């Protein structure tokens, strides 16, 4: 577990990540501004002669050079004094420098440590004495504040990477591992994956208590979120598509009662002007204006308010932006605290991330219009600007009330302090219901009882669009903010009697955007599909079969998915009002000829770590050398395995198998983490059903360097296989071709390709 990160990210079991997709995408460049790069004289490509300066390079990458100057930006922040005295030049100089590349090692903790060992003892070590163009290459450095050295940064540029074979090899490693376990901290989902990792800190627990609900208002970004989350293969994540400022209140069944779901942890990562991202989104330099902040303030406050409403008493909510502007930061927090009337308070987290440098939040600031006009108080704002500038954008006038808010507990991270971007973070604790929620909403249930806030162990992530301010204010005044909970529970019983079918919400109740999603259909207890699976794999009686689902109501069930019991509860009770993009992990895939092997379904690698603890049959214990053989050869014959593995596999019937590697405590030089792979036992050969990127990942964990691939032979070349090439045997090839149970010849089996995800 990573306790420090857990506290900052506010993720213990579950959360509603309230963040919005910024439709204006500050980093996107206009496609109409592309120019051809002028021809370069021979020998000057990539500036190899060392004489070409940045300003003489023409339109690098097809884009015109953007001047990193904005006088209004400098005037605004110098006036607000958010940068310590004497540090302004450092601050601006840092903003003009490119942001270093950052990588974070994700996934199961034991696997992450193996990758870290590989990085430090192989790739980083090779770079220690490397020089390029007469200059020593800077070796990647760990982030001082991130626990266990699982996050690193480097200033290596793409131009330098092309000049050295060692750097090119390191770059290729990063690109390949990004598909498996490295998070390059750029795409949507970086924060969500951290939350999932915290749930699965103990990889021996297949179904940890709690779950993560990740939401984004942008349908396309939801699918990017799914892609990121899928790498962690968790049955405890759900991706939904809603406006965060009006995300629906969910209900769950607790001992036959319908109770409102409150979240223990909420990550409220709101849309913002993004002026803290100038180092990577250089368009911000010329587009920056205070109007962006003024337009976003209301949305940010609405999202934060909705998050606070759904937070459990005693729970924590993190509010974060990548903006330095108090209008988007302290002003939102102050307004939220003021209207909470003591229900919320800022937590002091100053000691929770040792090594992280930050500035305390400010308690005084002014508001500036896009044309440079300043206002220190709402009373100074002329009537004509009241729609653009709102009272909540200013500090509270009551000094005692302002002091009691402890805005200095907010954290502002400045780029020049630790070579980062700019960020703002505030951690809020809920002490009581929000004032407009004092009277708990009535829910139709067998018995109305007060809800234990600890009963929900949830994390959520959301992104939203602006909604009408007057509508929200009327909600809060009348206390109707949670009325949808009472209304929608009327439909709960009708949901449950649909035999576990959880479809998308009807169009009359919610306007859907993007792709139409398939329903989530839970497998009935009496479904004849399950007993053959249960028998073939000797599943433990504790196996939660009720959590199995498919994505179709018609025809053959081709794939079986699994969710935690908590997410099953959420799905069954909220399908009428919630647009679910994805949930569950694939655990079995139909093999069209599977009946010949006593079971129509083979194991899926995506869900094997969740499924393995319940399987008591068809398990083959393999050595590290066996794993290397299985991952580098397409169809190795039984005799190529160790004698221990051979003795296990020869007596098994044909069909899907589990290949399990356990670390050898007597041999510290071998791989120190367990590995579980899906395989297929044929007539005389065995193979793995592992996606290519995952194969390469495991090989690198074992210290092998992947050099290439012979696709026709189905062989992955490594430094070991090249050093000791194995001659192909004609008899082996002949026997493989004749093996009727070779997975290549089994219809419906896709042995090596990455398994599709819904």
Six token digits for residue 431: 């002490």
Which tens digits make up the pLDDT trace of 700-735? 888 887 777 776 666 777 766 655 665 554 444 444
216 is in an annotated binding site: yes
Distance CA 66, CA 57 (A): 13
Nearest to 320 by CA among 361, 368, 366: 361
pLDDT-based confidence at residue 465 (cuts at 50, 70, 90): very low
Q: Parallel, antiparallel, or unpaired: how do β-strands 411-413 and 423-430 relate?
A: antiparallel
d(CA 228, CA 224): 6
pLDDT exceeds 80 at position 57? no
For residue 324, count CB atoms less than 10 angstroms from its CB and return exposed for 0-12, middle for 13-18, buried for 19 or more: buried
| Mean predicted confidence (pLDDT) in 115-142 | 88
| Count of Cβ atoms closer than 10 Å to residue 720 Cβ | 16
Q: Is 672 within 8 Å of 625 (Cβ atoms)?
A: no
Tokens of 531: 């007993």
Residue 643 Cα distances to 70, 270, 619, 626, 733, angstroms: 70, 57, 15, 10, 22
Helix or strand or coil: residue 520? strand
Percent of the chain predicted with pLDDT > 90: 50
Higher per-residue pLDDT: 234 or 516: 234
Helix axis angle, 290-309 to 469-478, nearest 10°:
30
Residue 235, pLDDT above cutoff 50: yes
Whether residue 480 is annotated as binding a ligand: the answer is no
pLDDT confidence bin for 10, thresholds 50/70/90:
very low
**Strand 211-215 vs strand 141-142: parallel, antiparallel, or unpaired?**
unpaired
Q: Is 243 among the annotated ligand-binding positions?
A: yes
Q: What is d(CA 100, CA 119) in angstroms, rounded to the nearest whole number?
A: 18
747 annotated as a binding-site residue: no
> 352-356, 594-598, 600-604: lowest mean pLDDT where?
594-598
Q: What is the helix (H) or strand (E) element at residue 656, kind and residue range?
A: strand 655-661
Annotated active-site residue in 9, 15, 272, 322: 322
Determine whether the annotation assigns residue 673 to a binding site.
no
* In the predicted structure, residue 618 carries a pLDDT above the cut 50: yes
Check the annotation: does 220 bind a ligand. no
The answer to whether the annotation marks 191 as part of a ligand binding site is yes
Reported as a pLDDT band with limits 50, 70 and 90, residue 657 is very high
Region 630-651: mean pLDDT is: 94
Confirm or deny that 244 is annotated as ligand binding.
no
Per-residue pLDDT, averaged over 165-190, amounts to 75
More reliable by pLDDT, 694 or 410: 410
Residue 322 falls in the annotated catalytic set = yes
The distance of Cα 278 from the centroid of its chain, to the nearest Å, equals: 23
Q: Higher confidence at residue 506 or residue 423?
A: 423
* Paired tokens of 183: 């998070």
């Amino acid at each position: 577990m990573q306790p420090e990160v857990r506290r900052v990210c506010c993720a213990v079991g579950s959360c509603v990540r309230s963040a919005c997709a910024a439709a204006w995408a500050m980093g996107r460049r206009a496609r109409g501004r592309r120019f051809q790069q002028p021809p370069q004289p021979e020998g000057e490509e990539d500036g190899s002669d060392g004489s070409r300066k940045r300003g003489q390079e023409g339109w690098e990458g097809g884009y015109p050079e953007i001047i990193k100057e904005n006088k209004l930006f400098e005037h605004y922040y110098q006036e607000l004094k958010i940068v310590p005295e004497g540090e302004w030049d450092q601050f601006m100089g840092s903003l003009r420098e490119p942001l270093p590349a950052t990588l974070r090692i994700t996934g199961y903790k034991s696997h992450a440590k193996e990758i870290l060992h590989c990085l430090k003892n192989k790739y980083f070590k090779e770079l220690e004495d490397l020089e390029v163009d007469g200059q020593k290459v800077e070796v990647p450095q760990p982030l001082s504040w991130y626990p266990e050295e699982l996050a690193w940064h480097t200033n290596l540029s793409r131009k330098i990477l092309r000049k050295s074979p060692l750097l090119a090899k390191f770059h290729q490693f990063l690109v390949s591992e990004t598909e498996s376990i490295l998070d390059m901290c750029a795409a949507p989902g970086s924060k969500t994956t951290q939350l999932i990792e915290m749930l699965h800190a103990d990889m021996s627990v297949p179904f940890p208590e709690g779950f993560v609900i990740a939401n984004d208002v942008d349908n396309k970004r939801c699918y990017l979120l799914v892609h990121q989350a899928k790498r962690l293969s968790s049955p405890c994540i759900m991706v939904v598509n809603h406006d965060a400022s009006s995300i629906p209140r969910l209900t769950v069944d607790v001992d036959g009662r319908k109770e409102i779901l409150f979240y223990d942890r909420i990550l409220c990562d709101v849309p913002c002007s993004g002026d803290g991202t100038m180092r990577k989104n250089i368009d911000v330099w010329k587009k920056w204006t205070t109007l962006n902040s003024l337009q976003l303030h209301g949305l940010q406050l609405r999202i934060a308010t909705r998050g606070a409403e759904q937070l459990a008493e005693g729970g924590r909510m993190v509010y974060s932006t990548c903006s330095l502007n108090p209008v988007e930061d302290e002003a939102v927090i102050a307004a939220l605290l003021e209207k909470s009337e003591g229900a919320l308070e800022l937590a002091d987290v100053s000691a929770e991330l040792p090594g992280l440098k930050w500035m305390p939040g400010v308690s005084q600031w002014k508001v500036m219009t896009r044309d440079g006009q300043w206002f220190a108080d709402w009373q100074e704002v002329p009537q004509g600007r009241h729609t653009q500038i709102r009272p909540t954008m200013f500090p509270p006038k009551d000094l005692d009330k302002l002091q009691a808010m402890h805005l200095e507990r907010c954290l502002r991270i400045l780029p020049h302090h630790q070579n980062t971007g700019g960020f703002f973070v505030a951690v809020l604790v809920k002490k009581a219901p929000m004032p407009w929620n004092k009277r708990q909403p009535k829910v139709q249930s067998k018995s109305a009882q007060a809800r234990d806030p600890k009963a929900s162990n949830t994390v959520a992530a959301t992104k939203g669009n602006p909604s009408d301010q007057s509508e929200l204010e009327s909600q809060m005044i009348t206390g109707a903010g949670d009325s949808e909970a009472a209304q929608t529970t009327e439909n709960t019983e009708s949901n449950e009697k649909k035999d576990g079918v959880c479809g998308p919400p009807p169009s009359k109740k919610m306007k859907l955007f993007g792709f139409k999603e398939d329903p989530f259909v839970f497998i009935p207890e009496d479904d004849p599909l399950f007993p053959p699976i249960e028998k073939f794999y000797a599943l433990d009686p504790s196996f939660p079969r009720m959590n199995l689902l498919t994505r179709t109501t018609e025809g053959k069930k081709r794939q079986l998915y699994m969710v935690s019991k908590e997410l099953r509860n959420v799905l069954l009770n909220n399908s009428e009002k919630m647009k679910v993009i994805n949930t569950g992990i694939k655990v079995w895939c139909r093999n069209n000829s599977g009946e010949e092997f006593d079971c129509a379904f083979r194991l899926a690698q995506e869900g094997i770590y969740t499924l393995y603890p319940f399987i008591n049959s068809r398990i083959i214990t393999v050595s590290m050398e066996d794993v290397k053989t299985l991952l580098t050869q397409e169809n190795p014959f039984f005799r190529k395995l160790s004698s221990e593995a051979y003795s296990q596999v020869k007596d098994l019937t044909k069909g899907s198998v589990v290949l399990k590697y356990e670390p050898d405590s007597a041999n510290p030089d071998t791989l120190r983490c367990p590995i579980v792979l899906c395989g297929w036992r044929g007539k005389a050969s065995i193979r793995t059903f592992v996606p290519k990127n995952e194969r390469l990942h495991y090989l690198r964990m074992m210290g092998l360097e992947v050099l290439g691939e012979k696709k026709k032979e189905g062989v992955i070349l490594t430094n070991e296989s090249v050093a000791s090439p194995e001659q192909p045997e004609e008899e082996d090839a002949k026997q493989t071709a004749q093996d009727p149970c070779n997975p290549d010849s089994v219809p419906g089996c896709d042995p090596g390709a990455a398994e599709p995800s819904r």
